[in-house]
């Protein structure tokens, strides 16, 4: 299975939820993403089969090393892009929405350049965080 935009979203969601609460269950993913239980169950099975997530006997969902790597990459992209957009004057809601769209399609080369520029801008304007 290729790691599609949808799978990236699921993995990032599991990472975010795991930062907010001690255990992640399928119903948490359903609530967070607004998807139905059957849809989430199908995707979780595929992700488990591909070694991206583990589901224990209590139905706690955790990321494997491979899944965590993808999730953290997407999470970093989301944060850098949204903060960059806010730094240049985009309102928070628009920046967060646009970051969700951009994070999946932006090449690694372009993301690394944007990230480097963002870090430089942030260092020059430490009080510009919104």
Cβ neighbors of 22 (< 8 A, separation 6 or more) are none
Residue reference for tokens 């595929």: 46
List C-alpha distances in Å: 18 to 31, 55, 130: 14, 13, 25
pLDDT reported for residue 115: 94
DSSP designation for 22: S
| CA dist., res. 33 & res. 96, Å (int) | 15
CATH of 5-64, one of 3.90.1150.10, 3.40.50.300, 2.40.128.120, 1.10.10.10: 1.10.10.10
pLDDT reported for residue 71: 97
Domain residue extents for the chain: 5-64, 70-124
pLDDT along the chain (130 residues), means of 10: 88 97 96 95 95 95 97 96 94 95 93 93 73
Q: What is the pTM of this model?
A: 0.86
The fold of 70-124 is Diphtheria Toxin Repressor; domain 2 (1.10.60)
| CA dist., res. 42 & res. 49, Å (int) | 11
């Amino acid at each position: 299975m290729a790691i599609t935009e949808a799978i990236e979203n699921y993995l990032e969601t599991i990472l975010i939820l795991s930062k907010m609460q001690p255990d992640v269950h399928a119903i948490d993913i359903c609530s967070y993403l607004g998807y139905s239980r059957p849809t989430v169950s199908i995707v979780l099975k595929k992700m488990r089969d591909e070694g991206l997530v583990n589901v224990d006997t209590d139905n706690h969902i955790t990321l494997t090393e491979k899944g965590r790597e993808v999730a953290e990459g997407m999470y970093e992209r989301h944060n850098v892009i949204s903060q960059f957009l806010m730094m240049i004057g985009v309102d928070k809601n628009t920046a967060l929405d646009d970051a969700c769209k951009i994070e999946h399609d932006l090449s690694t080369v372009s993301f690394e350049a944007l990230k480097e520029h963002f870090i430089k801008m942030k260092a020059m304007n430490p009080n510009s965080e919104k």
